[in-house]
Amino acid sequence: MASENMHFNVEGRVASITLTRPETLNLLTEDILQRLREIAAELAGNPDVDVLTITSTGTTCFSTGILTPALRGSLSKPDVLKLIRLANEAFDTIEALPQIVIVGLNGMVRAGAGELALACDIRIAGDHVTWSSPEAKWGGFPGVGAPIRLPRIVGMGRALDLLCTGRAIESTEMERIGLVDIVVGRDAVHDKLADIARSIAENGPLATKGAKRVARERETSGFAAARRLSDELRTALEWTSDVDEGIAAVREGRKPRFTGR
């Protein structure tokens, strides 16, 4: 099933989502987020699919995320929060899938795109990939799961380093800290993604889905409370002077002057 921005396909026991707008750096628009949520909801009740893969075309950019400074500056605050909540619904639904979800990162991963990747079970990256969570540079923090999911993957210190400095890291560091599970050559991401998906789909679905269910059960006890806190703080953040200043500074090409208010 193809659309202007993405392609969804099911072949055998493997479903695949491919972002197809490299000219927009695969910005995760409201339409894409709604479709991701719909697809995940459909797959949740489909016992004939065992694996979902997510990637994008080409080798340059996986996705630049959800809210660029320019887009953020053009939206009202309620519209920003509406988009963030939609993204949370989509990514939480993807994470909760019984199927094994594998993401193939084939280029730049930025902001909300990283949060989409964090909601997946297995992360594959090309050796040219960079990853950044620059929201702190804009006066905010990621509101679509990074402060919740990233610490359990890379540890608290490394998570806070990445989230609070906003620095970009390359694939070697991504693999070293466990942010991605497999690194392959630039042109091998899609083949590796398909190979792993096929290998999992050939195994017993009760085994693969059961293993994921048990592993997730161990991790979910504190998630709901963290999600509530994240939503509460992110909502309050939207009406602060620092958020407005961060976006204005990026748009004006100057260093922001944050006041903590």
Residue 103 maps to a domain: yes
Q: What per-residue confidence (pLDDT) applies to 237?
A: 86
Residue 241 maps to a domain: no
Residue 201 maps to a domain: no
Q: What per-residue confidence (pLDDT) applies to 220?
A: 67
Residue 150 maps to a domain: yes
Number of Cα atoms under 13 Å in the Cβ half of residue 209: 19
Bridge partners (DSSP) listed for residue 100:
51
Q: What per-residue confidence (pLDDT) applies to 228?
A: 83
- Considering the entire predicted model, what is its pTM? 0.90
Would you tell me how many other CB atoms lie within 10 Å of the CB of residue 91?
25
Would you tell me how many other CB atoms lie within 10 Å of the CB of residue 102?
25
CA–chain centroid gap for 85, Å, is: 14
- With beta carbons less than 8 A apart as the criterion, state whether 150 and 159 touch: yes
Q: What per-residue confidence (pLDDT) applies to 3?
A: 61
Task: Print the domain residue range for 136.
Answer: 6-187
- Please state the domain count of the chain: 1
Q: Domain holding 149: CATH number?
A: 3.90.226.10
Residue 66 maps to a domain: yes
Q: What span, in angstroms and rounded, lies between the C-alpha atoms of 50 and 200? A: 8
Q: What per-residue confidence (pLDDT) applies to 203?
A: 93
Residue 35 maps to a domain: yes
Residue 160 maps to a domain: yes
Please name which of 7, 204, 212 lies closest in space to residue 94, comparing C-alpha atoms. 212
Residue 194 maps to a domain: no
Q: What per-residue confidence (pLDDT) applies to 215?
A: 84
Consecutive 10-residue averages of pLDDT for the chain (261 residues): 80 97 94 97 96 96 92 91 96 97 98 98 98 94 94 97 98 98 97 97 91 80 78 87 88 88 84
Mean pLDDT of the chain: 93
Q: What span, in angstroms and rounded, lies between the C-alpha atoms of 59 and 45? A: 32
Q: What per-residue confidence (pLDDT) applies to 156?
A: 97
Q: What span, in angstroms and rounded, lies between the C-alpha atoms of 69 and 135? A: 9
